[in-house]
Structure 1
C-alpha cells in the first residue's frame, strides 16, 4: 500500500527541551495507525508539527507526496489532513447542527457566516453525520449542554464534515464515560471502512489502541522506540520498560 503520510528525520526543540529527535514514520493510506508513549514522549508535539502548528527544526513531512512542513495549518487542512484535540473545540452556544454547518477546512480563525454555510446539501450531510455518531436526536440542542463524551462525538462528526483523507485524533477516548468508548471505537472503524478515511491516533488506553490500530508506533523521550503490529509492540520489552513500566 502507498504511504499517505511520510515523516522523515523530524526534530523539534523548544528552547533547551528536545521534544522530537530524528523521528521517522509512515502511515499507509486506508489504514488505522496508533501512536503511543509515556507522558512527555513527544506525541502531541509530533502531531502539531505534522498539521503545521509550529515549524520543525529538521526533517521532512510529506502528505500524498507533497512537502507540507512549511505550509500553514489552513492550507494543510485544505489538502485533506484534519486533526482533533484532547480538549474539544466546539461552539457551546450553538446547536449541534450549527456546529456542523460552520465546520469547514476553508476557515482559519474566522467563522463562516452561518447563513452562507447553509445549503440543503450541507444540512443533509450534517444530519447524516450526526446520525452516524449517534447525536441526531440532540441535533437542535446547544452543544454546551452535551456531556463531554458527546461533545467529542460532535467534534468527530465536525471533522467528518470536511471529508478528510486522513484524520489525526489526539486522545479520542480521554475523559469519555467507559460506556461510550466501545461505541466510539466502532464509529472510528466504520469511518475508516465506509468513508475510506486513514486514521492516525494518539491513545493512552491500551485496550482501545490494541483493538483499534493495525500498526503502532511508540515514542519515548522524543525518539521512536519501536513499531509493529499491536501484539508485537505490546510484548516488546523496550515498550514495557518505557511505557508500561511492567518489565
Structure 2
C-alpha cells in the first residue's frame, strides 16, 4: 500500500438551508487501501459520498484525485478520470445478459454511441468476459440479469464498476440486503481486487461485522463532523465513537472478534 494519498479531502463542507450536512471534514485514502466511512443516520455519509462522486457540489473545501481537483466536475467526467461506483440498490439492465451489461459499461467508457435496439454483441466481449471472470460470474455470462440471485447481481455490478479500470472505487452499502455468507464473499472479492489492481476503495456500510473484518482504516462521522479516524480496533475503543453509538443497539464486540479471525 502506497503512503502517497490517491484521494485527498480537505475542509469539505455542504449545507442544506441552515443545516450543515458536512462540516469541514478532511481525510486521505491511499492506493491499495479499503477505507470505511461509518456513522449513525444523518451523520453526513451519503452527502460526502455524493460530493466525491460529483452528484453534489461542495460548498467549500477540496477533493483531489492524484492532485486533480474533483469539485465542480460532473459525475461522468469524474468516472472517466478513474472513479467507479456501486450503489446500495444494484443497478443493472435486467433484460440484458450478464455479459451485455458489462459490454454496455465498456461502450460508455470508450465513448461509443449505441442504440438500445441494436445489440453490441461483439464489442470488447473478451474484456467483458475477463471482468466477469474476476468477479466469479463468467459461467453465468449468457444469463439475463433478471434471473440472477441478488448476490450475483451485486457481483455483476462490481464488474460494471471495474469497466473504467478505476483508481478509486466508491461502494455505497455494498452488502445491503445480502445474507452473511454473500456479504463476506463480496467483500473478500473486493479486498482481492484492491490487492490485485492496486486501487483504493471508500465504502459506507451498516454491517459492523463487514467493516471490522475488511476495512484497513475507518473514519467516523457524526452530525456532519469527523469525530474519529484510525484502524478498526482503535475505533472500537474510541470514547467518542462509543458515545455516538450508545443506545443505538449497535455493538463493536462481535465485529472485533471477526476482525481477529480474518487477521
TM-score of the superposition, structure 2-length normalised? 0.87
1:202 positional shift: 0.8
Is the contact between residue 109 and residue 163 of structure 2 (CA under 8 Å) also seen in structure 1? no
- Aligned residue among 147, 151, 154 for 1:152: 154
Cα deviation per residue 1:191-220 (whole Å; 9 max; x = unaligned)? 011111211111111111111111110001
1:112 positional shift: 4.0
Match in the other structure for 1:78: 80
- Tell me the secondary structure at the aligned position of residue 100 of structure 2: helix
Cα deviation per residue 1:112-168 (whole Å; 9 max; x = unaligned)? 447685546x21222122222222222111112212222111101111122111101
Is the contact between residue 74 and residue 107 of structure 1 (CA under 8 Å) also seen in structure 2? no
Correspondences of 1:1-247 after superposition (within 5 Å) = 1-104=3-106, 106=109, 112-113=114-115, 118-119=121-122, 122-243=124-245, 245=247
Q: Quote the Cα distance in structure 2 between the aligned partners of 1:139 and 1:154.
A: 9
- Tell me the secondary structure at the aligned position of residue 61 of structure 2: strand
Is the contact between residue 93 and residue 143 of structure 1 (CA under 8 Å) also seen in structure 2? yes
Change (3 A) 1:7 1:106: same
Cα deviation per residue 1:89-122 (whole Å; 9 max; x = unaligned)? 11111111110000145389x97447685546x2
Q: How many residues align?
A: 245
1:64 positional shift: 0.6
Unaligned stretches of 5+ residues in structure 2: 253-263
Unaligned stretches of 5+ residues in structure 1: none
